[in-house]
A and B are shown apart, each in its own frame.
Chain A
Amino acid sequence: MNKKRSLTFYLLAAFFALFVLFLYSPMLSIFILTFQGPQGALTFPMRGFSLTYWLGQVFQEQRVGNFVGAFWRSLGLGVSVMLLTLMVSVSAGLAFRNRFRGANSLFYLTIASLIVPSILISLGIGIVFQVLGMQTNWFSSGLGAHMTWTVPFAFLIVLGIFNRFNPSYEEAARDLGASDTATFWDVIFPLILPSLLGIGILTFTLSYDEFTRTSLVSGQRNTLPLEIFGMTTNVTSPALYALGTLTTLFSVVLILLAFWGYSALSAKQKQPKL
């Protein structure tokens, strides 16, 4: 290999470094500003230094509500949305393998929900609930709003998974006397499980940080993104940044867990080489 690199390499490397800086400096600023002393403010320069002061503040009751409650709501909502989305998208994916009548229209109808402006969907759901005389809530209207966002994504991925899925596994299972249910749980499900884990983490993330669609239908209690937004207009302390740091940490842990789970699962079912 040639040790001496051309000028182009250094120029491009510098450009890439700038790009990475652009990508991560907002996040870095927030991390850094988290660790200020009690006199800390929202902008640089840092005022004092404390490792835990503002992180601790996150768990105190705030003027507009509290983070902890919002976090648990968002977590619960994310998990419910994830499970429901997986159920709906896998069932839909299985159905779409047999080209039924109206499959195409249904496909476009599902995807359309990705294109319609989010705020309109939120508004629409809000209006429907009003017409029906129902109270909007994060676990009812909010859940529905999230699923208009997660299901189309998950559905598209599931279609891709089943496109690559070798149908002879199912034929072999049926040939050996497996019912449809047994074929699904014994053969299809274990084989697509690593991919489902990926979809799960994606839909959870989509739901966990969803803002616009939730904004008009979350009811009395806020989800975490709404809570944070509320704080930016009312609260002017670095607790906001501390919260950002904590949720980022939470996401990183989640992603690491997902990667670990994915590789553990895929190792268990490596495709045989012929």
Chain B
Amino acid sequence: MDSSFSTSTSTAPDAGVLAADASVSQELKQELSAHSAGVALRGVTKKYGNGFVAVENVDLDIPAGSYCCLLGPSGCGKTTTLRMVAGHESITKGDILIGDTRVNDLPPTKRNTAMMFQNYALFPHKTVWQNVEFGLRMKGVEKRERDRRVGEVIDVVGLTRFADRKPAMLSGGQQQRVALARALVTRPAVLMLDEPLSALDENLRVKTRSELRRLQKQFGMTFIQVTHGQDEAFALSDQIVVMDHGRVDQVGTSKEIFTTPASRFVARFVGDNNIFVGKVTAVEPSSTFGSVVTLEVDQVGRFMSRGLSASVGMTAACCVRSDRLSLLPYPPAEASAANQLVARITQIEFTGFITRVSLMVEATGDEITYKGRSYDWLSIDAQEGQLVTLTWAIEDCIFLPH
């Protein structure tokens, strides 16, 4: 396809061509990290003319130099939030601050942000060089300075030899890097990325993902990215903002979101959680977990979970990850664990590293999923149709107030 491409490495043209750390201009690095700014949203609301509320009363603090992912299903308001920060969407109520500046009424270019669009929106009639140069030209940077800065950033993303090509002659990964270069060349305080990886195939997505993360760390820039993939968010973020129906459901690090989802929505969205809805019957303070909340789940059982606060009588839920369940024979041989229930195996799926077992609580028809390493499963030796006991510890059972 491309005979001019370097053959000195064994990697495919798209694999990790971002310049090595050593060759990255120190000056570019310093300038970018010096410009980096935090972003704050205060009661930001977006209401459309037809009454539809896309984003409702969002409060958010994104520290300077951090990688923040807005995560949620389509229609949750994450893209609208990003576009409001970038200035491509007006704000109905509230304030957006970039650094110390209130930017509500500033046009995109005055906000000192840059945006990488979904599908990149590279100008198809301009070459790579002209695409990257565009922002500097519009800002009235003189020709010599433009040439220097464009050359530098194109080098950083490893596209120097493609400078004269049109976007149509580049692969998906190369286009993505042109978009990145075009956004970086104006030295933005915040870089916004709208699903930057969704157009790439699986392999390239994982590679590009780590390149983005490396670049962000290297330049100490603030990145805000919209994504609907939790693995992408987990891999990239210093901070994850989970959104649903225009509201922020939870803000936390990857680890926090993964181990302690704050709501039923987050637990479901993160995946692999078994969720039980019931009534709170007891709340006891605990030295290890804050408080232990006991939940009575109709016809299924009584489960103890760790939580922060709850009031007796309220309807709430708890969840346990499918890989934190233990599967024991029925009836169990030993004394009961903190949480247990009896269910019938409906399906066993061997998927390689993991074996996935579907079970059903007979009284209610509730489905439960158990996941275990396939080697561990060999010693369990249970069959489809068999009754088994599932047990789990209090610390693995997360109380979900809503």
Contact = CB atoms under 8 A, between A and B. Distances in A.
Contacts of A175: 86-88, 108-109, 113-115
Contact of B138 (A177, A270, A273): A177
B125 A176 contact: no
A190 B119 contact: no
A171 interface: yes
A261 B108 CA distance: 36
B167 A173 contact: no
B170 A272 contact: yes
Interface in A172-191: 172-179, 182, 186-187, 190-191
Contacts of A270: 124, 166, 168
Contact of B172 (A178, A190, A274): A274
Contacts of B88: 171, 174-175
B121 A169 contact: yes
Most buried by A among B87, B138, B168: B138
Contact of A176 (B109, B119, B124): B109
B168 A168 contact: no
Given A174-B107, A191-B124, A274-B199, A168 B134 contact: no
Contacts of B122: 172, 272
A274 B118 contact: no
B123 A169 contact: yes
B115 A172 contact: yes
Given A172-B121, A175-B114, A176-B109, A272 B168 contact: yes
Contacts of B33: none
Contacts of B87: 175
B117 interface: yes
B139 interface: yes
Nearest to A183: B138
B182 interface: yes
A6 interface: no
Interface in B83-126: 86-88, 107-109, 113-115, 117-125
Given A175-B108, A176-B186, A186 B134 contact: yes
* Residue with the greatest number of chain B CB neighbours at <10 A, chosen from A169, A190, A271, A274: A274
Contacts of B109: 174-178
A272 B124 contact: yes
A274 B174 CA distance: 10
B117 A178 contact: no
Nearest to A193: B125
Contacts of B45: none
Interface in A135-175: 166, 168-169, 171-175
Nearest to B170: A272
Contacts of A169: 121, 123
A240 to B, nearest CB: 46
B168 A271 contact: yes
A10 to B, nearest CB: 44
B107 A168 contact: no
Interface in A250-274: 268-274
B167 A172 contact: no
B396 to A, nearest CB: 41
B263 interface: no
Given A172-B117, A175-B86, A176-B138, A271 B124 contact: yes
Interface string B162-179: 000011101010010000
A273 B113 CA distance: 27
A169 B125 CA distance: 11
A269 B109 CA distance: 26
Contacts of A274: 119-120, 172, 175, 199
Nearest to A179: B138
B135 interface: yes
A272 B169 CA distance: 7
B117 A171 contact: yes
Contact of A269 (B107, B108, B134, B166): B166
Contacts of B167: 272
Contacts of A176: 109, 114, 134-135, 138, 182, 186
Nearest to A268: B125
Nearest to A265: B125
A172 B124 CA distance: 12
Interface string A187-206: 10011000000000000000
A191 B126 CA distance: 10
B175 A272 contact: yes
Interface in A197-255: none
A143 B138 CA distance: 39
Contacts of B120: 272, 274
A134 to B, nearest CB: 44
A166 B167 CA distance: 16
B168 A273 contact: yes
Contacts of A178: 109, 134, 138
A174 B170 CA distance: 24
Contacts of B135: 176-177
Contacts of B124: 191, 269-272
Interface in A107-125: none
Interface in A61-96: none
B121 A168 contact: yes
Interface in B56-107: 86-88, 107
Contact of A166 (B121, B175, B186): B121
Nearest to B176: A274
B117 A168 contact: yes
Nearest to B125: A269
Contacts of B121: 166, 168-169, 171-172
Contacts of A171: 88, 108, 115, 117, 121
B123 A174 contact: no
B168 A187 contact: no
13 contacts: A171-B88, A171-B115, A171-B117, A175-B87, A175-B88, A175-B109, A177-B109, A177-B135, A177-B138, A178-B134, A269-B124, A272-B124, A273-B172
- The 3 A-B residue pairs with the shortest CB-CB distance, nearest first, are A176-B135, A269-B125, A177-B109
Interface of A: 166, 168-169, 171-179, 182, 186-187, 190-191, 268-274
